[in-house]
Structure 1
């Protein structure tokens, strides 16, 4: 197993993902995720899926409905890379032997043990608009009040994360904390003192206050604190991302990744969906390596695969296997032939319908320098960060273009609206700035094939050899963190959030350079594009393109004969329904 900075990785799979997919696909999942433990989700007994997983995966496999500890213990204990994971057959088993559970958890390492219990879920009582926690009584009885504990359940979707405070005697819900990730971050910052911009440290607060805070966090007294985190499939664009990787740390799940099963094995290849994969498998083509070794003339014997589609499948399979991008046209990259390289841009907001752009990050490859414009003091003033950013951009770099990844799906759209609203004296100049989008050029316009399992920026950059800063953040967490700052006024770990934004900017430039160094594709096959290819001339006309469809739509189209590949962008962002432009090019010299 690979080292993950003290984390243990658990791969959570629904039984259908194990039983319904070929061995080659599951082998690809194992090689990619590299789990320390494999969780076959319940809550029903699925012995066939459990047996198949035990045969195919090298890591320990557990299936809660079939778990029972030695000597009829209420759980089975797994040591995953130094992390104790207690797998229970259900809440009833925990409650029946609560003393043994409580004793084991007190002895656990790390400080916050992880319990897998499929009976835990939330339910809503619509008549009183109240959310309850199923299994709360059993958890309150079995878990010690003086220890933090994390409960993982497959009955809630991956990404669900709330801390429930329960009355120890009855399991009655006393309180619910909706963003424990942010609370943990704030607590970590407070332990060392919060540092302001001048470097001074706030160490105020008595020992009694600190002890009171610790007791509240862990439960203490007559209440039990339980952090409940989901591991079940996530619905995205009508398609279930049912392969879930959970990185366990000292405070529970610190990082979650979800994948569609179609991102692995043959189905990861452009033009191959489940039906086509089955047809190929019947002819002895079960892996991408098999596909590359199969002559196109033989592939065309498969119903629905013509000569052109067979060629395209081979091109993409080679990209995925070699990890090298492929330029499908001779069109230059956005700004590739301009005198100075574009500035890589990323923004952070307080949500998908933002009320503030609280961070603007810019990486300049020319000087290998990064600038961050962050609102750390007054979140009620959305204009100050934008004004500082525009001052710098127009004052220092008036002749530079901007570059984003799917910027027309989010960054440019919101920046334009916020500049018009809050710094209108810069609105005209903002519109004249060339705004380039590498995702649009490569994916939507079909100018390149990328080796990532999806076309998310982090997946593509990682496949191309970029090593990220491992901040543990994503767009949703940074937005939730800033929302907490707005509500409480308690400062965040600003350095960590700036590092996350910088990481995206540097990853974008890494992808740009790898595409720039890829061979031109004169005479090679070209995938259908969303629009005509982009001209790199400063006098190029603005044009529009709609955001790419989801992975699920692509695979469905593939089975119908469409070989286009389009993935969701690096964040869940709302597309401009009227299309988006590569804009501001007309007057650029």
Structure 2
């Protein structure tokens, strides 16, 4: 399911680096395992030094410090050579390029270098232009937005044959918008993606998966989810108490016995056990099962079907893709509405007929399905295909997120409990589609507005692969949970909680 070459770019904004511990930064680098690190924001030598110390073997992009000839940083990536500093030689066509300018004023110099051939890029793979302090301007009077330096950006985009995406440090990592700009009396699409990784809720780190297609999928995680505050029940006050006791990292927590944690002010026995257990989970990247209950029941020995849906938003008017992965046959079935986005019935009907005809005795598994997948499938069946509703209700349906997180049956190693974060932490190797759930919804919304326009038609195969990847990731996490040994959280020895009990599958409901 490989979808081309990709580069993992970790954004460590200088404003965030100012307010987190060095141990948290190292933890973020270890967790994300990036190929390239960018430090967007204002010129900040301390932030740059912090990033360099945390990732000594990786290229650190912070051209804000440069002078003279170092005002433009240029890195290249290829499947064989990885990310490396660009040379003056013409690169192979499949090379991905990362160009970072010191400031917006340098964009005109970069355009000139690209025009004269002084600086060259791969013509068949995406080029990514990093502008560390660029932000979209918002006029509160006219309620309109303006893209600064639009002329320079569209000039660079129009002159290069490959896809060009602009990564801007002044926008949060959740920002993604394709601007339509005019160049030589023609309209040119210029994708802009946020790299600032900050939002109204606080400081964030973000990893951006950059693909040969020029697409960017960002995973933003609150900076509090790294270092000591990543642990269950540890806020700033508890983290300070732990540091006073000589603990700076989750590994330090494991060197303590639970009884040592209980002696600290404000930490009771139950909290101490959870802190210690969660440190073990993060350090080992293995789930910790806290119960003898099974997450799923099946009618036979066949594993559950893993289901995932794609909609046009969080309050959907259509379920436009339904994917089902069958671990028993290692096969994936997809139902996609490509022709009639105004009609939600055909794709839903095709799915439910296939499911009931072939797998009515199978158990179905989702991640947060009770609040999303199952909820909206049932809602649309009620509205459009009520004759299948009873049969749908009779199917055995389980929600692994509810069992593990909401019901408190397991501790997971992801820094959030989103499926892709949990799967990544456990070791799942995701496909490089360069998509997020929000992007798939936005792409289909654009298609719905004008389905006859070839420019709005989604890359169906890439979106199909994204959905399949979620289904396979769910199975990967399910196996990790069901195969994990149950570990006793009680204090057992000088090293803390290391007792083991039987595996989850040895217990019966």
Query: Normalized against structure 2, the TM-score is what?
Result: 0.82
1:496 alignment partner in structure 2: 462
2:503 alignment partner in structure 1: none
Is the Cα contact below 8 Å between 2:3 and 2:432 reproduced in 1?
A: no
Is the Cα contact below 8 Å between 1:117 and 1:152 reproduced in 2?
A: yes
CA distance in 2, matches of 1:498, 1:5: 15
Q: 1:500 to 1:78 in 2, by over 3 A?
A: closer
Q: 1:436 to 1:4 in 2, by over 3 A?
A: closer
1:565 alignment partner in structure 2: none
Structure 2, gaps ≥5 residues long: 77-82, 85-94, 492-506
DSSP 3-state at the match of 2:192: strand
Q: Verify: 1:160 aligned to 2:124, yes or no.
A: no
CA drift of 1:508 comes to 1.7
CA distance in 2, matches of 1:450, 1:121: 36
Q: Verify: 1:357 aligned to 2:319, yes or no.
A: yes
CA drift of 1:225 comes to 5.6
Q: C-alpha root-mean-square deviation of aligned residues, in Å?
A: 3.2
2:101 alignment partner in structure 1: 88
2:264 alignment partner in structure 1: 302
CA distance in 2, matches of 1:429, 1:145: 54
CA distance in 2, matches of 1:39, 1:523: 39
Q: Verify: 1:151 aligned to 2:166, yes or no.
A: yes
Residues 176-233 of structure 1: CA deviation (Å, up to 9, x unaligned): xxxxxxxxxxxxxxxxxxxxxxxxxxxxxxxxxxxxxxxxxxx556776643221012
2:405 alignment partner in structure 1: 443
2:18 alignment partner in structure 1: 19
1:52 alignment partner in structure 2: 50
Residues 113-165 of structure 1: CA deviation (Å, up to 9, x unaligned): 4332245322233444432112335546x747422643321111114233434
CA drift of 1:447 comes to 0.8
Worse-superposed segment, 374-383 or 361-370 = 361-370
Residues 220-278 of structure 1: CA deviation (Å, up to 9, x unaligned): 5677664322101244xx63361122233445453322122122222222122233223
Match of 2:195 among 224, 227, 231: 231
Q: 1:98 to 1:470 in 2, by over 3 A?
A: closer
CA distance in 1, matches of 2:396, 2:102: 59
Match of 2:138 among 119, 124, 132: 124
> How do 1:420-499 residues align onto structure 2 when only pairs under 5 Å count?
420-486=382-448, 487-489=450-452, 490=454, 491-499=457-465
Worse-superposed segment, 12-21 or 406-415 = 12-21
Worse-superposed segment, 335-344 or 436-445 = 335-344
CA distance in 1, matches of 2:459, 2:156: 31
Is the Cα contact below 8 Å between 2:277 and 2:489 reproduced in 1?
A: no
Is the Cα contact below 8 Å between 1:152 and 1:228 reproduced in 2?
A: yes
Q: 1:279 to 1:312 in 2, by over 3 A?
A: same
CA drift of 1:536 comes to 8.7
Q: Verify: 1:289 aligned to 2:288, yes or no.
A: no
Residues 434-475 of structure 1: CA deviation (Å, up to 9, x unaligned): 321111111111111122222211222233333333333332
Q: 1:463 to 1:77 in 2, by over 3 A?
A: closer
CA distance in 1, matches of 2:485, 2:299: 16
2:92 alignment partner in structure 1: none
Is the Cα contact below 8 Å between 2:4 and 2:212 reproduced in 1?
A: no
Is the Cα contact below 8 Å between 2:101 and 2:130 reproduced in 1?
A: yes
CA drift of 1:336 comes to 5.6
CA distance in 1, matches of 2:431, 2:272: 39
CA drift of 1:46 comes to 2.3
Q: Verify: 1:508 aligned to 2:474, yes or no.
A: yes
CA distance in 2, matches of 1:397, 1:94: 57
CA distance in 2, matches of 1:97, 1:366: 54
CA distance in 1, matches of 2:231, 2:324: 34
Query: Normalized against structure 1, the TM-score is what?
Result: 0.72
Name the count of aligned residue pairs. Answer: 470
CA drift of 1:321 comes to 1.5
Structure 1, gaps ≥5 residues long: 167-173, 175-218, 526-534, 538-589
Q: Verify: 1:402 aligned to 2:415, yes or no.
A: no
1:567 alignment partner in structure 2: none
